Structure 1
Amino acid sequence: MTQDRAGDPATEAFVAHRNLLFTVAYEMLGSAADAEDVLQETWLRWVEVAVDQVHDRRAYLVRITTRQALNRLRTLTRRKEAYVGPWLPEPLLTTPDVAEDVELAESVSMALMLVLETLSPTERAVFVLREVFDIAYEEIAAAVDKSPAAVRQIAHRARRHVEARRPREVVPAGTARAALEAFRRALDTGDPQGLLDVLAPHVVLVSDGGGVKQAALRPISGADKVARYLVGGIGKAAAAPTLDPTVVNGSPALVVRLGGALDGILACRVEDDRITGLYYVRNPEKLTRVAARTPLALR
């Protein structure tokens, strides 16, 4: 957007809904960089619209954003096929209000974002718009070029798929913080038993180095294997590691620094007071949004 457009109806509408549009694009793509590109494309198309004739500007902007995100998602899917090792969403340092909004925090959590990766592009778009943003079926149909009846079927199929794979329940933020703090202390002191006490037996660790940083090429399953990997990796790094608590994607996480330099973000999934999932993002290209907070919105 340019300064000379400040104050006109198109600019005011776009600015008013920008956080919502970014959140829609990010939840569809799992990439903040791609979401920003989608917003730029949305803006370029929005300024060509006769805004005064648009009855519901929010719905119209969401429709443009969805279409651009779908185009980008198909390209991103091809990029992921050539990606080195597991692919994780780009972590966002989020504002305090995101953590306080249980619905929003759960929708952008690493655990759910990974489940969304298993949907087709259209299923993901429909699920995000309907289940997260409560968009009407008719509006979604216009955004994805399907009939309302087809969208209802897609939504039902996507919902069933996600429900079978998402965490059973959303734990309170305090419970997640306590589990992560116990994990941090055990890793900081190189205490394997301490790790085993906080890790669920079926815990899975996924690490993303993008072929740039060293990372496991496949997910690691089981508390024993995960504990050994962590103690032998982060715990015995050449430079002394520091693990600082933070809030990423609305949930407690750790900033990992080696020798004072940012090495990665370690997010977790907690169920029944124990960690069932660990997500370690080391790819430097995905660590650009953890220095400043990113505002998100559902409405």
Structure 2
Amino acid sequence: MAASGPTDAADAAGLFDPLRPMLTRVAYRMLGSVADAEDVVQDAFLRWVGTDRDAVREPAAFLRRTVTRLCLDQLKSARRQRETYIGPWLPDPMVEEEEADDVTLPLMLALERLSPLERAAFLLHDVFGVGFDEVAATIGRDPAATRQLAARARAHVREARPRYKLEKERGLAIAHAFFEASRSGDMEALGAMLAADVGMWADGGGKRPAAAVPIIGRALVMKVHRSVAVLLRKYGSTLVHTGMINGLPGFVTREADGEFQTTALEIANDRIIGIYVMRNPDKLKHMH
């Protein structure tokens, strides 16, 4: 174990900081929480400071392994917490300014149904391009078992992966039209955008009003928006940003209570098939 001090910590940071964005992406994809991901990455840094770094041949692989193992530990308690979560659970919204990987919000929800080891094997190999030998060493399984874990995960999430690439500008145009129709109360325009089997999920976390269960089908989604439109005409809703949210076109608004809200839209064949609304203030803190 290397002795640590101010100089040692600065040396450690010099190697660690360029890898921090990648490590944070791994942790966020594993956990679905910005705050938890940042905590895990900071914990990994503290461990890195106390490591004999001269003995580490590949810092990126070593730190990716450290972060993944910390996430696996975290997922055990997170799973228990989500069993008592009030209403639908959605991952923290990430507003993406640059082209991201293809881990969209629906795929992140599908990952929630996997075991922690399946999730790690799939993300490390299929998303981050890590070889199976390294993945196996990370999760403590042999390569053959690791391949099986990734294959099982792939089969489970196949339906949630994008079937075709939606042009970004087209998606953002639909998102803006959805904002205008939903806020103005133009139900005819709104209904024309929705697929017959559209679903709506709203995460209030028991902190702000939100539907306690998913709302499925155009008729029910329209009923909700008719009610919401009455409130919005009275209290208002301000558009803050239109952009990609967890890989989906969407927008950020500031609602009448002063809190942010994000809305992400899953679109297929120019129709909205999924509406994901984040209202939980705990999951929006990083937006401020």
> Does TM-score exceed 0.5, indicating one fold?
yes
Contact 2:30-2:120 at 8 Å conserved across structures: yes
Distance in 2 (alpha carbons) for counterparts of 1:64 and 1:90: 23
Alignment of 1:1-299 (within 5 A): 4-5=7-8, 7-8=10-11, 10-94=12-96, 96-97=97-98, 100-101=99-100, 104=101, 106-107=102-103, 109-233=104-228, 235-237=230-232, 238-247=234-243, 248-259=245-256, 261-291=258-288
- Please identify runs of 4+ aligned residues in structure 1 that moved more than 4 A: 1-7
- Deviation, 1:249, is 2.8
- Higher RCO (C-alpha under 8 Å, 6+ residues apart): 1
- Deviation, 1:5, is 4.4
SS at match of 1:88: coil
Say if 1:223 and 1:2 are closer, same or farther in 2 by CA, change over 3 A: farther
- Deviation, 1:92, is 1.9
Contact 2:9-2:49 at 8 Å conserved across structures: no
SS at match of 1:268: strand
Distance in 2 (alpha carbons) for counterparts of 1:88 and 1:28: 13
1:205 is aligned with what amino acid? M
- Choose 55-64 or 113-122, whichever is displaced more: 113-122
Say if 1:171 and 1:50 are closer, same or farther in 2 by CA, change over 3 A: same
Distance in 1 (alpha carbons) for counterparts of 2:40 and 2:257: 34
Contact 2:175-2:249 at 8 Å conserved across structures: yes
Q: Tell me the alpha carbon deviations over residues 130-154 of structure 1, each in whole angstroms, 9 at most, x when there is no partner.
A: 1110101111111111111100000
Relative to the length of structure 1, the TM-score reads 0.89
- Choose 239-248 or 194-203, whichever is displaced more: 239-248
Distance in 1 (alpha carbons) for counterparts of 2:229 and 2:115: 35
Q: State the identity as a percent.
A: 40
Equivalenced residues, count: 283
SS at match of 2:273: strand
Say if 1:155 and 1:231 are closer, same or farther in 2 by CA, change over 3 A: same
SS at match of 2:265: strand
Relative to the length of structure 2, the TM-score reads 0.92
RMSD between aligned alpha carbons?
A: 1.9
Distance in 2 (alpha carbons) for counterparts of 1:259 and 1:15: 39
- Choose 11-20 or 45-54, whichever is displaced more: 45-54
1:192 is aligned with what amino acid? M
- Choose 198-207 or 222-231, whichever is displaced more: 222-231
Contact 1:187-1:235 at 8 Å conserved across structures: no
Contact 1:91-1:289 at 8 Å conserved across structures: no
